[in-house]
Amino acid sequence: MTNPHFKELRHAYGFDDVAIVPGDVTINPEQTSVELKIGNITLDIPILAAAMDGVTDVKAAISMGKLGGLAVLNLEGIHTRYENPDKVLEEITSAPQANVTGVLQKLYSAPIQDDLVAERVREIKKGGVACGVSVTPANTKRLAPIVAEAGADILFVQSTVTTARHVSRSTRGLIFEELCKSLGIPVVVGNCVSYSACLSLMKTGVSGVMVGVGPGAACTSRSVLGIGVPQITATMDSAAARDAYYEETGRYVPIITDGGFHRGGEICKAIAAGADGVMLGSVFAQAEDSPGKGYHWGMSHPHPALPRGTRIKVGTTGTLEQILYGPTSVTDGSQNLVGALKTAMGLCGASDISEMHNADMVIAPSIVTEGKFWQFAQGQVSK
Amino acid sequence: MTNPHFKELRHAYGFDDVAIVPGDVTINPEQTSVELKIGNITLDIPILAAAMDGVTDVKAAISMGKLGGLAVLNLEGIHTRYENPDKVLEEITSAPQANVTGVLQKLYSAPIQDDLVAERVREIKKGGVACGVSVTPANTKRLAPIVAEAGADILFVQSTVTTARHVSRSTRGLIFEELCKSLGIPVVVGNCVSYSACLSLMKTGVSGVMVGVGPGAACTSRSVLGIGVPQITATMDSAAARDAYYEETGRYVPIITDGGFHRGGEICKAIAAGADGVMLGSVFAQAEDSPGKGYHWGMSHPHPALPRGTRIKVGTTGTLEQILYGPTSVTDGSQNLVGALKTAMGLCGASDISEMHNADMVIAPSIVTEGKFWQFAQGQVSK
Amino acid sequence: MTNPHFKELRHAYGFDDVAIVPGDVTINPEQTSVELKIGNITLDIPILAAAMDGVTDVKAAISMGKLGGLAVLNLEGIHTRYENPDKVLEEITSAPQANVTGVLQKLYSAPIQDDLVAERVREIKKGGVACGVSVTPANTKRLAPIVAEAGADILFVQSTVTTARHVSRSTRGLIFEELCKSLGIPVVVGNCVSYSACLSLMKTGVSGVMVGVGPGAACTSRSVLGIGVPQITATMDSAAARDAYYEETGRYVPIITDGGFHRGGEICKAIAAGADGVMLGSVFAQAEDSPGKGYHWGMSHPHPALPRGTRIKVGTTGTLEQILYGPTSVTDGSQNLVGALKTAMGLCGASDISEMHNADMVIAPSIVTEGKFWQFAQGQVSK
Amino acid sequence: MTNPHFKELRHAYGFDDVAIVPGDVTINPEQTSVELKIGNITLDIPILAAAMDGVTDVKAAISMGKLGGLAVLNLEGIHTRYENPDKVLEEITSAPQANVTGVLQKLYSAPIQDDLVAERVREIKKGGVACGVSVTPANTKRLAPIVAEAGADILFVQSTVTTARHVSRSTRGLIFEELCKSLGIPVVVGNCVSYSACLSLMKTGVSGVMVGVGPGAACTSRSVLGIGVPQITATMDSAAARDAYYEETGRYVPIITDGGFHRGGEICKAIAAGADGVMLGSVFAQAEDSPGKGYHWGMSHPHPALPRGTRIKVGTTGTLEQILYGPTSVTDGSQNLVGALKTAMGLCGASDISEMHNADMVIAPSIVTEGKFWQFAQGQVSK
C-alpha cells in the first residue's frame, strides 16, 4: 500500500500487553531510589493520589504527604463548595444506588467558594506536607492566584484532554505560557497522550505533564467518543517528547501517567515505559482511611447532554500505608506498591527511576487462550 | 517468503480494534459542523437510518428529517406491498417467536405495488423533509423512474455486495452509468468494501457509495459465506478510493459506512477512518418511536436455499431525538450520538467532518485479558 | 535481531482469523462451476466425506456420489473387519458413554479381511458412483493391489503426518513412486501442512495431496504433541507448492484441505486460500442418513501408550442432501454448503474453483472483545 | 518512528502462541534419543522435577532417577529443617485452607540444619541414582561445600532472577566463577530469560542455565512486579546465547526451561524452541506418589512485605511412571510425556534433542474466538 491516500495505523499497547524483562545485573532493592522531582518539590515516592473527592480530602492529603507521596485535592468538588465536606461525603456514600446520580448532581451544583479554596490549601500546609491542588482549565484564571497566595506547592490543571491551544469563539482561552510565568509555583498540565501534544505542552513552560486519555477499552471515553490511547504507548510517546525536549532545552519536565492502575505490576510497567510518576484513583479509593470509604465517583465528562459519573462501590482493602508499603496478605499486587516497584527495579538493576526507564520490555499480551476457556467452561477454574 | 506463489494477507480492523488519538489543538464542540452533502442535498447531521422495515416508515422518515438526518425507506418491504403497513407491522411484532419466520415469509411474498411506491414518496415529501428510498439492483430499472417522478430526493441501490459490473447469462444487468444519467436525482450505491470496487462504482457517476459487507465476525455473511471486511479497514480503503477519485476528477463522492454500529464511539471512529456519513439499523430499531417497537428484522440474503432473516428483540432505549441529541441517562454511548461526535471532533481539533478524517488513530484492540477473565470466573465482575 | 542463532517464527492463520473480500465484479452464482478433478476422475462438487466409520459406509458413499461428491471408505475400520457392519455400528452407537472406549478397542481389534476389502469396493461400484477408499501407509502394500483389482477409482493413503520419506530401522517403508507407477489408479496422499513437505509428496507422482495437521488449537495433536498448523496457512503453503510444481512440470496436483470444517464459510475460505477440494468429517457425521446416526468417533493416534479416540455425540442436523444443497432453516452456515460456496464465488466474481483461488483475503480475527464479554458477564448475551 | 527517543518493543511468545510444523521426513519414534547431558551426568530423558517440597522428596528423587530423569531436592525446605519431613508434609497437606498460610510460615521458619543437608544427599545417592539439589544464592556459600562433600552430582542455584553480577552494599555477593572452580561438581544456575543475561551466566563457567521468569500472564511476578517473559521467547533467546557461546568457546552449556508446563505439547514446543531439558512442578505434584499428595505450594517471593506462596489443590492424575511413560487413559496430554516427545520428534524427523532444535515453528495463538464464545454463552460447549 504505497497509495498516499491510505491512512496509517500504528499499534498501541496497554498494561496487559507488555511485560518487563529482568536485567543482566540485579541490585539490592533497598539501594534503589524512587524519588520524583516536580519543579522545586521532591517526593520520596513517585505515587500521586488523584484529585477526586472519594480519594483525596485534606486528611488524606496530609497522610499521603507523610508517607512520601502527594494526594492532589480537587478544588472544584465538595471541599470548596461546602464548609463541612464530611457531612456531604456521608450523604454521598449513604445514598441508595438508585438515587445517587440525582444526589451527586444536586450536591455538585453548589457554587465554588473562593474562601474555601484558600482555606483547604492552608489546612493541608498546616499538616506539614507539600500541597498539590487541581483545577480545570475553565476555572484556572480565577482560582490559580488564590491557591498560589494561600501557599499551595503545585497546581494541577487537568481535563480529559488539555492542549497547548484551545479554539473557542466565545472566550479567550487559558494561555499556559502566561500562567506559568505569573504564578510562581510549578504548574502540571494534562491529560495528553501523544508525542506532539506533550511536546507542545512542555514548550509552554509547565513543570509537569499528565499522561492518559481513555486508557482502557471499557472506559467511557472509548465507548462514547471512540477516543483513547492505551497507557504504555501513551507513556512511551510522551516520554519520547520529554527526552527530546530535554535534549533540546536542558529542562527536564517529568511526566505522570494517570489512570488505569490496579496493581503494582502496572506501576512498574508505566515507570519502565518512561513515566516519572504515576497517579492512582480507585486503588486509593479502596483505602480504609480514604474519604470515599469504599466508594468512588467522578464528575468526568462535562458535556451537558452526556451523563455524569456515577458512584461505584470499590470496597476497602487496607490502610493507605499498607497499600503503599505493606505488609500484605494478598498476592494480587494491589498492596505494597512501593515494595513492588523497588523489587522490580532491583531485578532490572535500576538504581533510580531514570535507570528504570532503560529497562527492556516485551509485548506479551495476557489473552484468554482456548485451553483456559475450556477449563473454565468445564468448571475447572482455579487460579 | 519471496516465492511468488504465496498469497499475501493484509490485516483488517474493526471498530473494537482501534481508537482515536486526541489532537494537538482542541476546539469548542459547539463550533464544529457535522454536515453531510450527497449530490445537491445537504443534511445537518451525517447520520442515516437503514432501509429496514423495523427502522424506517414514513413517520420515522419525517421525524428523522426534522432532526437533521435521513431515514431511508425500503421500497421492497411492507410499505409498498400493503396499503396499511401499520396493521402488518402489528402482525409482525406480535407474532410468537416460534412462528415468526413463517409469518415473515408469507407477509413478504405479497407483490410490490407501483402506486404504493409513488404514494410513500409523496407522503414523506409532504412532511417537508428530504426523501431517501432504497431498492435492490434487480428492481431498480422498474422502480427508479417511479420514485424520481414522485419527487424522491435520493435513490439508494443496495444489496449485500454491489459492483459496477455484474455478470449474468440470463438478463442484461443494471448499468449505473445509464441510471445516473437518466434519473436526475442523486444515486447512492452499495455495499462495497475495497479500494478498487469503490473506485469502480464512483467512476459510474454515482453520488455516494455505501460501505460495509459482513463487518462483524459473528454476522451471517462471515459464517455462511466467509465473506466480509471489518468496518474500519473497509472505510479506510473506500475513503482512499474517494480521495484518489477526487484528486483525479475534482468530484467528491461521499462514502457512508453501513452496519455494525451500536455506540457513539463507533460513529466517531468511522468518521475518523474516512466516512462522510454513517447508516445505523439496530440503534434506531431501539427508538421508542420506531416502527419495529423494539423488534428488528431483515430479509437479508436472497439465495433461495439459504434461510431468510429472523426477528430479533432489541428493546427500546429512548426516543429518536434522545438517541441523536440526548439528554441521556446511560453511560454506554448508545444515546446523544451527535453530541458524542461533536465532542470527539472538538477533542481532535476538527471543525468539520473533512478535518476529522485527518484524526490520528491507533490499533488498540479491546481483547479480554486473563486478568479480566479470572475476575469473571471468580464472580468479581463489575464494570 | 540479526544474530544468526535466533530462530524465526512466522504467523499462521486459521479459518477464524481470515475473511474473504468480495470482488470488483460479481457473477451469477448459477453460472459458477465447482468441479474438482483428481487424476482421471471429475467430481461435480469439491466436497469429500472423511474416511471415518461414523461418516462413511457403503450407503453413504453411494448417496454422496449421486450428490456429486465423494465419500471415502475407511478400509481399516469395521467394514473390513466384520461381515455385517451395521450390527457393529449399532453396538458402537448404543454403548453407554462410560464403556465406549473399551467397546471401541475390542471391536477394532478384529482382523482386517482381504475379501471384505474387495467386497466393499465392489458394493460401492455397484451403486454407480466413483469409489474412493482409504488406507494407512503401514497397510498400503498389502491392500492397494486388492482395491485396484476390485475396481476402486481413487486410493487415499492417510496418516496424521505422511512424508515422502519415512526413516525406520525395522521395515522398508512405503515408496510412493513405486506405488503410483504400479497401481494404475490415482493415489492421494497426506496429510501434510508445509510447502516443502507438499512439494516432496507431489514429486513422488501422487495425484492429490491431503492438507491438514492439528488445525485447531484445541485438537489432540496440538495439546499432546504441540504439532499443527492452522488450516488457512497450511492450505496457502501447500497451494504455493502445487502452483510451483505445476509451473515446473505442467502437471496439476489438486490439494484437499482436511479437518476443522463446521460451516460453509470455512469451505469458502479454504477454497479462496487455494484448496481444490475439502474433506469434512463431523459435519457429515451429523447427517440423518450417516452411519454414525449422530455419533462420531476416530481411531486417530496410533501410539500404543497414548489414548485412542473416544466417541462424541454430534447430533443430527438434516439429510446429506440438505447439508449439501439445502433448503435450510438454520442461519449458522452448517447447511447448503454448495449453495454457500457458489454464492461466495459469485460475490468474488469467480466462475470456477481456480478463479476463486485469486480472491483477496484479509486477516480479521473474530476475537472476543471486552464489550462482548461484559455483555455476557451481565447476562445480556443474544446473538 | 525514527525518533531515537522512542523505545522499541519486541513481541514475545508463550506455549499457547506457537505450534510445531511437522518435517519433510518422518522417523520411527523408537529410533529417537531424548538424552540430556549436564556436565558429566547423562540423563535418559530431558525431564526434571522442580525443587519444591510438594514435588520432590528423597523417595521421589530416587523414583525419578530410576525412570531416567532427575528430581531436584530443595535444600531450604522441610527436608533440611526437620528430621522427619513426612510428619511435616502430613501437617501441611491436612491443614484447613483457611490456616494454611500461617502453618506454612511457621513450619518454614525452623532453621536449616547442615547435617540434614548432607544426610538427604546421602539418602538419595543410596538409591543408586544421580543426586541433584537446589539452593538459593544467599545460602550457596554455606551449603555448596556440604552437598559436594556428601556426594551430590549437580548443584542448582536458583532464585526468581539470578544474574552473573548482583549489586549490594551490604554483603559480597556470590561469585559463580569461584563457585564453579572450587566445587568440583556441575553447577546449574538460574533463572534468566534474555540472551545477554544467559550469555553472562554461561561465561561464569556454569554447566547449565535455568530459563523462565514470570512465564504466565496470570503468575505473581507478572501481576505484582510486571516482570516476566513468555517461555517460548525466553527459551529461543537463551538458546541463541547458548549457540553463540558454543560457537565461540566449543563448550556446550545446556539450558533447561522451567515453569508453565502442563501438557506434553508444551514440552515438545520448549524443546523445539531450543531447550535441552525441561523442569516441571505442578505436573509432578499431581503424581500419586509425590510428597504433596495432590497439593502444591511454593515459597516463591522473598520480599518481606510481600505475601508468601499459598497451598493449591492440584489433585492426583496417575503415578510418576504413568505421567512419564503412560499408558494413559486421558487425551489432554498430561500423561506419557516421554511418548509424546518421541512421537513429536518422529513427526519432525528429529533423531535427537539437538535435531529437534531445528524443527520449524509457527505463531498460531489459541485465542477464544467469538464463535466459541457464543457457543459457550448458549450452553453448547463440549470439547
Q: How far apart are CA B361 and CA A213, in angstroms?
A: 13
Q: Which of D359, D330, D364 is nearest to D346 (CA)?
A: D359
Is there a contact between B223 and D371 if contact means CB atoms under 8 Å apart?
A: yes
pLDDT at B301 over 60: no
How many CB pairs below 8 A link A and B?
198
pLDDT band at C305 (very low <50, low <70, confident <90, very high): very low
SS3 assignment, position B193: coil
Residues D228 and A330: their CA atoms lie apart, in Å, by 20
Report the 10 Å Cβ neighbour count for D68. 18
Closest-approach residue (CA) in chain B for D223: B371
Chain B residues inside the 8 Å CB shell of C330: 307
B278-282, C362-366, D2-6, D173-177: which has the highest mean pLDDT? Answer: B278-282
**Per-residue pLDDT at B116 exceeds 60:** yes
Nearest to C167 among D20, D27, D272 (CB): D27
* Average pLDDT value for chain A: 90
At residue B379 the predicted structure's pLDDT band, cuts being 50, 70 and 90, is low
% of residues, chain B, pLDDT over 90: 73
Whether residue D99 has a cis bond before it, omega within 30° of 0: no
Average pLDDT over residues D153-162: 95
CB C141 within 8 A of CB C173: no
Give the integer Cα–Cα distance in Å for C351 and C357.
11
Instruction: Count the neighbouring beta carbons within 10 Å of the beta carbon of residue A164.
Output: 22
**3-state SS class at B246:** helix
Report residue C1's pLDDT band, with 50, 70 and 90 as the boundaries: very low
- pLDDT digits 0-9 by tens, B40-62: 999 999 999 999 999 999 999 99
Which band of pLDDT confidence, cut at 50, 70 and 90, is reported for residue C374? low
The pLDDT value recorded for residue B98 is: 82
Secondary structure in 3-state letters for B127-149:
CCCCCEEEECHHHHHHHHHHHHH
Amino acid D311 reads R
Contacts of D241 in chain A (CB under 8 A): none
Complete domains list, chain A, with CATH: 18-377 (3.20.20.70)
Alpha-carbon span D275 to D258, nearest angstrom: 10
SS3 content of chain C, % helix, strand, coil (to 5): 40, 20, 45
Of A218-227, B150-159, D221-230, give the lowest mean pLDDT range: A218-227
3-state secondary structure of A297: strand
What is residue D5's predicted lDDT score, i.e. its pLDDT?
82
Is B369 a residue whose pLDDT tops 90?
no
* Mean pLDDT of all residues in B55-76: 97
| Banded pLDDT at D27 (limits 50, 70, 90) | very high
What pLDDT, on a 0 to 100 scale, did the predictor assign at position B298?
73
Sheet-wide strand order for B18-20: A10-11, B361-363, B18-20
Query: Strand, helix or coil at C45?
Result: coil
Q: ∠ at Cα C269 (C264, C272), nearest 5°? A: 130
DSSP-derived 3-state class of residue D154: strand
* Per-residue pLDDT, D369: 67
Could you tell me which chain C residue has the CA closest to the CA of A222? C371
Measured CA to CA, the distance from residue C364 to residue B223 in angstroms comes to 13
Chain A contact set for C374 (CB, 8 A): 218
The closest of C66, C35, C17, C34 to C289, measured between CA atoms, is C66
Residue C124 C-alpha cell reads as 460401492
D255-288 tens-digit pLDDT: 999 998 999 999 999 999 999 999 999 899 999 9
A16 — alpha (psi -120 to 50), left (phi > 0) or beta? alpha
Percent of residues, chain D, with pLDDT higher than 70? 90
pLDDT computed for residue C298 by the predictor? 73
**CB atoms near residue C353 (< 10 Å):** 23
Contacts of D among chains (3+ CB pairs under 8 A): A, B, C
Q: Which of A370, A372, A373, A376 to mutate to test the interface with C (most CBs of C within 10 A)?
A: A370
> Is the distance from CB of A304 to CB of A317 less than 8 angstroms?
no
pLDDT at D104: 85
Set of cell numbers at residue C189? 496422499
In chain C, % of residues over pLDDT 70: 90
Contact residues, chain B, for D370 at CB < 8 Å: 217-218
Closest CA in chain B for residue C331: B307
Rg of the Cα trace of chain D? 21
CB-based contact B365 C367, cutoff 8 Å: yes
Distance from CA of B195 to the nearest CA of C (A): 9
Lowest-pLDDT choice from A263-272, B327-336, B353-362, C161-170: B327-336
What average pLDDT does range B92-121 have in this prediction? Answer: 90
ipTM: 0.93
> What is the band of D382 on the pLDDT scale with cuts at 50, 70, 90?
very low
pLDDT band at B371 (very low <50, low <70, confident <90, very high): low
CA B89/CA B102 separation, integer angstroms: 15
Given a contact cutoff of 8 angstroms between Cβ atoms, the answer to whether D292 and D307 are in contact is no
What is residue A308's predicted lDDT score, i.e. its pLDDT?
53
Contacts of A325 in chain D (CB under 8 A): 305
What's the grid cell of residue C187? 493415489
In angstroms, the separation between the Cα of residue B331 and the nearest Cα of chain A is: 6
Query: Which chain B residues have a beta carbon less than 8 Å from that of C20?
Result: 225-228
Mean pLDDT of chain B: 90
Residue D216 pLDDT grade (very low, low, confident, very high; cuts 50, 70, 90): low
> Where would I find the H helices in B185-333?
195-203, 220, 231-249, 264-272, 282-285, 320-325
Query: Taking CB atoms and an 8 Å limit, are C200 and D369 in contact across chains?
Result: no
For residue C327, the model assigns a pLDDT of 82
**B3 pLDDT above the threshold of 90:** no
Question: Between the ranges A85-99, A330-344, B207-221, C72-86, where is the mean pLDDT highest?
Answer: C72-86
Q: Please enumerate residues of C whose Cβ is less than 8 A from a Cβ of A.
A: 217-218, 223, 367-371, 374
pLDDT of residue C380: 47
The SS3 call for residue C275 is coil
Q: Phi first, then psi: what are they for A74, rounded to 5°?
A: -75, 115
- From chain A, the residues in CB contact with B339 under 8 A are 303, 305-306
Which positions in chain B touch A307 (Cβ < 8 Å)?
Answer: 328-331
Query: Are the beta carbons of D226 and A362 separated by less than 8 Å?
Result: no
Nearest CB to A218 within list C223, C368, C370: C370
Inter-chain residue contact C28 with B168, CB threshold 8 Å: yes
Distance from CA of D335 to the nearest CA of C (A): 8
Listed residue (C116, C28, C54) closest to C351, CA to CA: C28
Task: State mean pLDDT over C336-362.
Answer: 96
Query: Which pLDDT belongs to residue C302?
Result: 42
Q: Which residues of A touch C367 (CB under 8 A)?
A: 367
Q: Which of A166, A40, A307 minimizes the C-alpha distance to A157?
A: A166
Nearest to C6 among D22, D240, D374 (CB): D240
pLDDT in tens, D120-134: 999 999 999 999 999
**What is this structure's pTM?**
0.93
A214: confidence class by pLDDT, cuts 50, 70, 90: confident
Q: Which residue of A has its CA nearest to D194?
A: A21
- What's at B284, amino acid-wise? F
| Residue among D269, D345, D353, D287 nearest D38 (CA) | D353
Task: Average the pLDDT over each of A86-90, A331-335, D378-382 and give the range with the smallest value.
Answer: D378-382
Q: Please, which pLDDT band fits residue D373 given cuts at 50, 70 and 90?
A: low
How many Å apart are CA C193 and CA C202, to the nearest integer? 13
Residue type (1 letter), C374? W
- Backbone angles phi and psi of B289, in degrees to 5: -95, 20
What are the pLDDT digits (tens) for C136-158?
999 999 999 999 999 999 999 99
Q: Is the peptide bond before A291 cis (omega within 30 degrees of 0)?
A: no
Q: How confident is the model at residue B383 (pLDDT cuts 50, 70, 90)?
A: very low
Nearest to C143 by CA among C102, C93, C185, C109: C185
Confidence band (pLDDT; 50, 70, 90) for B380? very low
* Nearest alpha-carbon partner for B16 in B197, B213, B221, B265: B265
Provide the 8-state DSSP code for A115: H
Closest partner residue to C381 (CB to CB) among D16, D339, D377 is: D377
Q: Answer yes or no: is pLDDT of B173 > 80.
A: no
Task: Output the CA torsion sign for B60, B65, B71, B75.
Answer: positive
The CA–CA distances, whole Å, from C219 to C105, D19, D26 equal 21, 12, 21
Q: Which of the residues D202, D225, D231, D376 would you substitute to probe the A interface, choosing the one with the greatest number of A C-beta atoms within 10 Å?
A: D225
